[in-house]
Amino acid sequence: MNLTTRVQLSAMMFLNFFIWGIWFVTMNSYLASIGASGTEIGIAYGTQAWGAIIAPFIVGLIADRYLAAQKILGILHIAGAVLMYFIYKQENFTGFYSLLLPYMILFMPTLALVNAITFKQLTNPEKEFSFYRVWGTLGWIAAGLLVGWFAWGGKELGNTFLYAGVSSGILGVFSFFLPNTPPPKQGTSVSIKEILGLDALKLLLNKNYLVFFIASTLICIPLAFYYSNAETFSKEILKVNNAAGYMSIGQGAETLFMFLMPWFFARFNVKKMLLFGMIAWTLRYLCFGFAGDTGAILVILGIAFHGICYDFFFVTGQIYTDQVAGEKIRSSAQGMITLATYGLGMLAGFWVAGKIVDAYSVNGVVQWKNVWLIPSGIAAVIAILFFLLFSDNKSRAASNH
Tally of domains within the chain: 2
Q: Is there a single domain that holds both residue 171 and residue 298? A: no
Chain mean pLDDT for the chain: 85
Which of left, alpha, beta for 225 (phi over 0: left; psi -120 to 50: alpha)? alpha
pLDDT tens digits for range 346-379: 889 989 998 999 999 888 788 999 999 999 999 9
The answer to whether position 345 is within a domain reads: yes
pLDDT band at 397 (very low <50, low <70, confident <90, very high): very low
The answer to whether position 189 is within a domain reads: no
The answer to whether position 341 is within a domain reads: yes
Percent of the chain with pLDDT over 70: 88
pLDDT tens digits for range 151-162: 677 788 899 999
pLDDT, residue 240, reads 73
pLDDT, residue 398, reads 39
Q: Is 205 exposed, middle or buried (0-12, 13-18, 19+ CB in 10 A)?
A: exposed
pLDDT, residue 197, reads 57
Does residue 395 carry a pLDDT above 50? Answer: no
Q: Is there a single domain that holds both residue 211 and residue 280? A: yes
Q: Is there a single domain that holds both residue 100 and residue 208? A: no
Q: Is there a single domain that holds both residue 216 and residue 152? A: no
Q: How far is CA 166 from CA 7, 140, 287, in A?
A: 20, 16, 37
Q: Which is more confidently placed, 211 or 327?
A: 211
Helix (H) or strand (E) segment spanning residue 6: helix 3-24
The answer to whether position 163 is within a domain reads: yes
pLDDT band at 187 (very low <50, low <70, confident <90, very high): low
Does residue 41 carry a pLDDT above 60? Answer: yes
Highest mean pLDDT (candidates 145-159, 228-242, 263-277): 263-277
pLDDT band at 218 (very low <50, low <70, confident <90, very high): very high
pLDDT, residue 210, reads 93
Q: Is there a single domain that holds both residue 248 and residue 299? A: yes
pLDDT band at 333 (very low <50, low <70, confident <90, very high): confident
Q: Is there a single domain that holds both residue 361 and residue 261? A: yes
Q: How far is CA 114 from CA 102, 237, 267, 378, 384, in A?
A: 20, 36, 31, 33, 36
For residue 295, the enclosing domain spans 196-401
Q: Is there a single domain that holds both residue 246 and residue 358? A: yes
Strand pairing class (365-366; 361-362):
antiparallel
Does residue 15 carry a pLDDT above 90? Answer: yes
* Domain stops at, among 154, 180, 206: 180
Q: Is there a single domain that holds both residue 240 and residue 121? A: no
Q: What is the pTM of this model?
A: 0.77
Residue 376: give its domain's CATH number. Answer: 1.20.1250.20
pLDDT, residue 399, reads 37
Q: Is there a single domain that holds both residue 149 and residue 244? A: no
The answer to whether position 186 is within a domain reads: no
The answer to whether position 39 is within a domain reads: yes
The answer to whether position 188 is within a domain reads: no
Q: Is there a single domain that holds both residue 152 and residue 269? A: no
Q: Which of 152-166, 197-211, 297-311 has the lowest mean pLDDT?
A: 197-211
pLDDT tens digits for range 241-260: 767 778 888 888 888 887 78
Q: Is there a single domain that holds both residue 337 and residue 222? A: yes
The answer to whether position 187 is within a domain reads: no
* Domain stops at, among 146, 180, 214: 180
pLDDT, residue 128, reads 77
pLDDT band at 166 (very low <50, low <70, confident <90, very high): very high
